[in-house]
């Protein structure tokens, strides 16, 4: 997925001490800033949510298409069963 380019804003966020320590540990290990760790975590969550919503949509439309195909089968069978005759 292409990386989104946007401006950076400073915000104030309150986090439990253990999450700050975890973010610092990850930042040190990855050699990036704490802000970058948090930004990447949020970006990963956004990607997860987008993928979940897309999958939900695909399931909905697949079910809808399946139901349409099932309901259409009867009509198509009747037309083909008549050998193209009208009346």
Greater confidence, 27 or 85? Answer: 27
12 found inside a domain: no
H-type alpha helices, 1-87:
17-30, 34-81
CB 27 within 8 A of CB 33: yes
Q: What is the mean pLDDT of residues 41-58?
A: 92
8 found inside a domain: no
Contacts of 15 (CB under 8 A, 6+ apart): 23
34 found inside a domain: yes
Q: What is the mean pLDDT of residues 38-42?
A: 97
**What pLDDT is recorded for position 2?**
62
CB 26 within 8 A of CB 37: yes
| Domains held by the chain: number | 1
Q: Name residue, tokens 């909905």.
A: 60
Q: What is the mean pLDDT of residues 37-47?
A: 96
CB 37 within 8 A of CB 30: yes
């Amino acid at each position: 997925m292409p990386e989104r380019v946007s401006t950076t804003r400073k915000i104030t966020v309150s986090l439990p001490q253990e999450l700050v320590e975890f973010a610092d540990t990850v930042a040190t290990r990855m050699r990036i800033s704490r802000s970058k760790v948090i930004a990447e975590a949020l970006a990963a969550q956004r990607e997860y949510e987008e993928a979940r919503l897309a999958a939900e949509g695909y399931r909905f439309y697949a079910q809808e298409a399946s139901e349409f195909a099932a309901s259409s089968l009867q009509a198509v069978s009747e037309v083909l069963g008549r050998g193209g005759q009208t009346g």
